[in-house]
């Protein structure tokens, strides 16, 4: 697995160049794109395609070549293979056949976007490309709407405005960093809000490939929201909810105290008043 530049060809590593020169076969997501890279560095090895629509057939072919003792270098269009591309399937297939796999690390749009975003980078979740179907896309977004980690998405320019509007509808007006053309001549990282992003791209045609880095849900706000939701039921009903699910009364009372941000003594006293 060989990481290749996501824009600037100077980002190729010496190790990557050596491996590509030594490989018996180079498998590429787009052979035309990879050929430009290989020609630039004077590499002339056997090049075969391996992409989403031929991965079953070509995956078996590549495994056969590996089992015969050949070395295969897998590259994606750009960046680290195996991230949002069929490289993950080939790794799994190789592992199933006892074939060792290693990664030649290098550029990654995910990491570059997170680092440059100015948003918390200690914990983040990569969501990749969202589903094309709008209903499925909204369902995916709603499933992570309460995630407190920084969220990272990929998006193509022609879908950007629709995705930004969906993000705003589901997440509200959160902070977002919009990175495009990373490592290239016209690299831009715009730190803004979803409202401002929608307003800009309703007037301006997006250009380039985009990485969207979105602020995670506010943990304190979620806790307050959950605490407020428990006010709709009595402590007695709250305890019964847990005992009905199989917990003993002592554990149920402990959970209720944690949910409501009160002491176990307060829960106990409230239940005594009901007896």
pLDDT of residue 253: 81
* Length reported for the chain: 275
Cα gap 102→80, rounded to integer Å: 12
b/e map of 136-162 (b: 16 or more CB within 10 Å)? Answer: ebeebbeebeebbbbbbbbbeeebbbe
Residue numbers of the chain with a pLDDT score lower than 70: 220-232, 273-275
Q: Give the predicted TM-score (pTM) of the model.
A: 0.78
Q: Are 177 and 117 in contact (CB under 8 A)?
A: yes
Give how far the C-alpha of residue 139 lies from the chain's centroid of Cα atoms, to the nearest Å.
Answer: 16
Q: Are strands 25-28 and 72-75 parallel, antiparallel or unpaired?
A: parallel
Q: Are 188 and 179 in contact (CB under 8 A)?
A: yes
Tokens of 144: 């992570």
Q: Which domains, and CATH codes, for the chain?
A: 9-96 (3.40.1010.10), 109-217 (3.30.950.10), 220-274 (no CATH)
pLDDT of residue 259: 75
Cα gap 264→242, rounded to integer Å: 15
Cα gap 10→268, rounded to integer Å: 67
**What are the respective helix, strand and coil percentages of the chain, to the nearest 5?**
50, 15, 35
pLDDT of residue 115: 97
pLDDT of residue 268: 75
Q: Are 7 and 180 in contact (CB under 8 A)?
A: no
What SS3 class is residue 73?
strand
Give how far the C-alpha of residue 81 lies from the chain's centroid of Cα atoms, to the nearest Å.
Answer: 14
């Amino acid at each position: 697995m060989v990481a290749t530049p996501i824009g600037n060809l100077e980002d190729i590593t010496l190790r990557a160049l050596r491996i590509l020169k030594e490989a018996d076969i180079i498998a590429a997501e787009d052979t035309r794109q990879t050929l430009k890279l290989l020609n630039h560095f004077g590499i002339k090895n056997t090049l075969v395609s391996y992409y989403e629509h031929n991965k079953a057939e070509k995956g078996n072919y590549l495994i056969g070549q590996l089992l015969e003792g050949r070395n295969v270098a897998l590259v994606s269009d750009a960046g680290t293979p195996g991230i949002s591309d069929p490289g993950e399937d080939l790794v799994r297939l190789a592992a199933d056949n006892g074939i060792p796999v290693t990664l030649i690390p290098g550029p990654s749009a995910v990491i570059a976007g997170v680092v440059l975003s100015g948003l918390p980078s200690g914990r983040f979740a990569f969501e990749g490309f969202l589903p094309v179907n709008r209903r499925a896309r909204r369902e995916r977004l709603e499933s992570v709407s309460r995630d407190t980690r920084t969220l990272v998405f990929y998006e193509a320019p022609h879908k950007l405005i629709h995705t930004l509007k969906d993000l705003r509808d589901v997440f509200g007006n959160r902070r977002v960093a919009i990175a495009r053309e990373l490592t290239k001549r016209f690299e831009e990282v715009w730190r803004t809000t979803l409202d401002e992003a929608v307003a800009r791209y309703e007037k301006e045609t997006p250009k380039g490939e985009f990485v969207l880095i979105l602020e995670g849900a506010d943990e304190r706000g979620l806790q307050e929201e959950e605490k407020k939701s428990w006010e709709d039921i009595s402590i007695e009903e709250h305890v019964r909810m847990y005992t009905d699910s199989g917990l003993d009364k002592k554990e149920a009372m402990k959970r209720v105290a944690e949910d409501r941000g009160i002491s176990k003594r307060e829960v106990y006293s409230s239940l005594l008043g009901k007896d």
